[in-house]
Amino acid sequence: MANAERQMPGHVEAAYKDAVDNIIFLKRQQWVATNYALLLYAAVFAMAQHIGLTDFARNSLGIVAICTFFIHWYMMYLFQQAIEKFRGRLFWIYRTYFNGEEQAGLELPLAPQSSWDQWQVARALVIVSFVGCAFTAIYLWSVR
C-alpha cells in the first residue's frame, strides 16, 4: 500500500489483531464447552451405572443432563454472537483498507457471511451435545 492515505493506522492494526485473536479464542471455547458437556453426560451415565437408581435419582440425573444441554446451547449462542461481532469488525477493516483487487487477490470476503453460514461449526457442536444428552436420558429412563 504505497498510498499514504490508505495505510492502516496503528490503532486499526491493534483492533484487527484483537478481533482475530478473539475469534480464535472463542472458537476454541466452543470446543472446550462441548467437551465439558460431553464429560458431564459421561459422568451422569457412569454415576447411573454405579449407584442404585431410585426414581428420584434417575429424575435428578436426567434434569442435570437436560440442563447441561440447554446451558451448552446458550453458551454456543453467546460465543457465536461474539464471533459475528468480531467478524463484522474484520469485514469493516477489509472494506476500508483493501481495494477490490486486493480483496479478490487475498480472497477476502466481499460481504459479511450470513448468520446461518457462520453457525456451521456451532450447529454441529450443539447437535453432538444433543445426541449425548439424548443417549444419557434414554439410558436413565429406560434402565430399571
**Banded model confidence at residue 1, pLDDT cuts 50, 70, 90:** very low
Q: What is the value of pTM for the model shown? A: 0.82
For residues 55 and 87, give the distance between their C-alpha atoms in angstroms, rounded to a whole number: 48
In this prediction, residues 20-36 reach a mean pLDDT of: 96
Which pLDDT score, from 0 to 100, does residue 2 have? 45
For residues 69 and 132, give the distance between their C-alpha atoms in angstroms, rounded to a whole number: 9
Give the CA distances from residue 2 to residues 6, 8, 104, 127, 142, in Å, rounded to whole numbers and listed in that order: 8, 11, 18, 48, 70
Which pLDDT score, from 0 to 100, does residue 36 have? 97
Give the CA distances from residue 126 to residues 35, 38, 96, 101, in Å, rounded to whole numbers and listed in that order: 11, 11, 35, 38
User: What cell was used for 100?
Assistant: 477490490
For residues 77 and 117, give the distance between their C-alpha atoms in angstroms, rounded to a whole number: 14
In this predicted structure, the answer to whether residue 26 has a pLDDT above a threshold of 80 is: yes
Find where cell 456451532 sits: 122
pLDDT digits (tens, 9 = 90+) for 44-97: 988 888 877 778 888 899 999 999 999 999 999 999 999 999 988 888 888 888
